[in-house]
Structure 1
Amino acid sequence: MALYPCYLAQPPANQFEIPIQSHELTPQISLLQSWDFVTAAPPPPNHGFRPSPPNPLLIFTPSVAGKYPVLLFCHGFYLRNSFYSNLLEHIASHGYIVVAPQFYDWIPISGTTEISYAAKVTDWLSEGLQPLLPDNVKADLLKLALSGHSRGGKTAFALALGHAKTKLKFSVLLGIDPVAGSSKNSRIFPHILTYVPHSFNLSIPVTVIGTGLGPEKANCCSPACAPDGVNHKEFYNECKEPCSYFVAKDYGHMDMLDDNPPGIVGELSGCMCKNGIYPRDLMRRTVGGLVVAVLKASLKSEDGDFKAIVNDPALAPAKLDPVEFVAA
């Protein structure tokens, strides 16, 4: 059976790496288009002042000229934003600008600090994003989405709930296997789970994408990466309408990452969590397709793909069970 369009990547997306600067000079830009690396010099002075981002960033853009919605993506605990390159390129190729900050490198930060960093990046978008984009790609910040994986999913929820103030408003929220801590009694501050159904004070559409193997241990020495009581089930249980819920039954907490992420952290990401036995590409296409379908429905008023997936989950490359949608 042919894959549904949203599960297929479109023309190659552009990827920019923006290192943080300790001064106000314009940062260098590394551009990845298809598989060729190009280093671009800073723009000439007539481009005007370009504020440095508060954190290092990866930016993914469509390769076709146009004005596009923006998705802010928060990485998981101790992971690198580059580990999500295939997934984020898939999303960008469907007509979205994806901004993925790196909140820390080797020393994890508190949950409260991570939320404040996410808020600062959000506020930076207004003045800092457009000067970094190709001349033919325009950011539509009136259509701003927020997402995150693992602890980054919890950060995204906390930011949407107002635990840090932002100048820009989010139009839709997506949690990808969000995790609020190692157990119900050991949660990351600030505590956002209340264990009261439909208690999240959110007025925007929310989608939660979970994994079936996330609550399982990889081995006898490692805890579950997305344990019950603090994982996708509870996040969805506390969402108000409109909300949707998809669980990739046969996949684990890290299975939406790139194949074989580099370095020590990349190696650890492949063995610390229970993984599925099927190719990660199917999981990335599934998660990417779900994100694209939700963004199209929420930001572009094009809900055909979303309705098709809800009505026939078998369209997805990976098995989705359960699938739920509660309309407003």
Structure 2
Amino acid sequence: MGSLWVSISIIMILMLTILDYSEAEFSTTTPSFLQESISQYDNSHVSEKLTVFETGKHQVTNPILVRKSQYSTPEPLLIISPKEAGSYPVLFFIHGTLISNQDYSHLFKHVASHGFIVVAPLLFRPLVIFPPSQADEIEMAASMINWLPSKLHEVLRDRVNAKVSADLQKVAISGHSRGGKSAFALALGMSKTKLNFNISALIGVDPVAGPDNHSQTEPHVLTYIDNSFDLSIPCTVIGTGLGSKRNRLIPPCAPSNVSHQQFFNELKQGSHFVIEKYGHMQMLNDFLTDPVAVSMSVMCTSGFGPKTTMRRTLGGIMVAFLDAYFRDEKQQFFTLMANPSLAPTKLSVEKKGKFRFAPTNAQQL
């Protein structure tokens, strides 16, 4: 047991050089740039209860774990899917550094209950001293994306329901922390492995590019040039307000110059939400079995609200965004941006560029 905690301590030191966090302060009033876009949603919707923050109508599977090489998968993965027959859009989610994909399962269930299939690869092995480089993780994630068209249907047929299928014309890529940066890198075409089908949307969850702007992990994604990410797909960035806060002597987990605000600054168009009273790790499950995730949750600055509220807020934003772009159900997305006070916790919002709602605006990589 002593050697185990020595290993964890070493990993924690490594994590301090890699991790990420950030903060931002915005007005909770309706920004002027949204007035035209949301004019069709007037004050009659202010009191409306947004259903995206509640559990959806679909019953979902427990986490389906697929071992490496099972169904020819290049890496282990987790799938959570609606049980009812139907064709569902896909959310491909990349976990944060040394955090298990299973640590996000409650968040994934929320998203899946609204009619999405969540696929989350595992890109490291527990308690490894030297994890894969970010460049390696990006290639591993790319190989997993390329696996989807050939074998995902077999997993769904065997482990869910023969009448459940994935709509691979509607695949969103997402990731948390370093995984958020990996998602941006893949959307920007930075992987050596060419993706064999279109990515339709991008969601960065408190993405982090490195310990500071002079020490980005490879490959460098941030350019520090506003509007430099010229992506033709819809994009949103969801950050935390406490991510950039130092926890006593421990550096912030998401330094402000390498996290969500900077990623949004470099988008040509998109939306940006900040969950102000929560920290970088608070979307994880309440009870974590992974000792690294437990340690990181203690090290990173956290708010005092329940993690269930954070997951409902984050999951609801993701669902509203995906519904708007994949199902042409824009009302809750626009209502949320116009009235962020309708969220379960304090939320701020900004937007730039034009909204694109046609799922056919997919980025060929």
| TM-score, normalising length: structure 1 | 0.88
The residue number in structure 2 matching 1:324 is 351
- The equivalences for 1:147-166 within 5 A come to 147-164=174-191, 165-166=194-195
Tell me which residue corresponds to 1:292: 319
Shift of 1:171: 0.7
Task: Map Cα deviations across residues 212-254 of structure 1 (whole Å, 9 max, x no partner).
Answer: 000011221x21100011000000000012x000000100000
Whole-angstrom distance in 2 between the partners of 1:325 and 1:199:
13
Q: Confirm or deny that 1:19 pairs with 2:48.
A: no
1:201-280 equivalences in 2 (<5 Å):
201-220=230-249, 222-241=250-269, 243-280=270-307
* Cα offsets for 1:112-155 (capped at 9, x unmatched): 11111111001000111000002121111011110000000000
Once the two structures are TM-superposed, the CA of residue 57 in structure 1 deviates from its matched residue by 0.4
Instruction: Name the residue aligned to 1:95.
Output: 115
Distance 2:311 2:208 in 1: 19
1:61 aligns with 2:81: yes
Distance in 2 between the 1:201 and 1:167 partners? 20
User: Following TM superposition, by how much is the alpha carbon of 1:97 offset from its aligned partner in structure 2, in angstroms?
Assistant: 0.6
The amino acid that maps onto 2:153 is Q
Instruction: Name 2:138's counterpart in structure 1.
Output: 115
**Cα distance, 1:325 vs. partner?**
5.2
Corresponding pairs, count: 298
Structure in which a larger fraction of residues adopt strand: 1
- Identify the residue that residue 44 of structure 1 maps to in structure 2: none
**Which residue among 224, 230, 237 is the counterpart of 1:195?**
224
Deviating above 3 A after TM superposition, structure 1's stretches of 4 or more consecutive aligned residues are 322-326
* Structure 1 residues 45-76: Cα deviation after superposition (integer angstroms, max 9, x where no partner): xxxxxx41111000010122100011100000
* Aligned partner letter, 1:94: H
Q: Distance in 1 between matches of 2:239 and 2:195?
A: 27
| Equivalent residue number for residue 42 of structure 2 | none
Q: Report the 3-state secondary structure (helix = DSSP H, G, I; strand = E; otherwise coil) of the residue aligned with 1:129.
A: helix
For 2:170, give the aligned amino acid: K
Structure 1: unaligned runs, 5 residues or longer: 22-26, 28-50
The question of whether the paired residues in 2 share the 8 Å contact of 1:63 and 1:93 is answered with no
1:20-44 CA-partner distances (Å, limit 9, x unpaired): 13xxxxx4xxxxxxxxxxxxxxxxx
**Residues 246-290 of structure 1, C-alpha deviations (whole Å, 9 max, x = no match):** 000100000111113113113213212000110011110000000
C-alpha distance in 1, partners of 2:277/2:354? 27
Alignment check: 8 A CA contact 2:59 2:84 kept = no
Q: CA deviation at 1:82?
A: 0.4
The answer (yes or no) to whether the contact 1:60–1:97 under 8 Å persists in 2 is yes
Greater relative contact order: 1 or 2 (C-alpha under 8 angstroms, separation 6 or more)? 2
- SS at structure 2 position matched to 1:83: helix
- Whether the 8 Å CA contact 2:100–2:290 is kept in 1: the answer is no
Which deviates more, 298-307 or 1-10? Answer: 1-10
Q: Secondary structure at the match of 2:256?
A: coil
- Name the CA shift for 1:278/1:172 in 2 (closer, same or farther; >3 Å): same
Q: Is the 8 A contact 2:99 2:290 kept in 1?
A: no
* % same residue: 45
Q: How far apart, in 2, do the equivalents of 1:322 and 1:138 lie? A: 34
Residue 183 of structure 1 aligns to a residue whose secondary structure is coil
Which residue in 1 is equivalent to 2:168?
Answer: 141
Q: Is the 8 A contact 2:171 2:199 kept in 1?
A: yes
Structure having the higher helix fraction is 2
Native 8 Å contact 1:92 1:98 kept in 2: yes
Q: CA–CA distance in 1 between the matches of 2:48 and 2:122?
A: 36
Alpha carbons 1:19, 1:56 under 8 Å: kept: yes
Instruction: Letter of the 1:206 partner, please give it.
Output: C
2:322 and 2:66 mapped to 1: Cα distance? Answer: 25
CA contact (8 A) 1:310 1:325 kept: no
The code of the aligned residue for 2:164 comes to V
Q: What is the CA-CA distance between 1:298 and the residue it aligns to?
A: 1.1
| Residue 322 to residue 306, structure 1, CA distance change in 2 (3 Å) | closer
| Structure 2 runs not aligned, ≥5 long | 1-46, 356-365
- Three-state SS of the structure 2 residue aligned to 1:55 is coil
Q: CA RMSD in A?
A: 1.3
Query: 2:147 aligns to what?
Result: 124
Secondary structure at 1:185 match in 2: coil
2:5 counterpart residue number: none
> Which residue does 1:33 correspond to in 2?
none
Q: Which stretch of the first structure deviates more once superposed, 79-88 or 8-17?
A: 8-17
Q: Given the alignment of the two structures, is residue 172 of structure 1 paired with residue 198 of structure 2, yes or no?
A: no
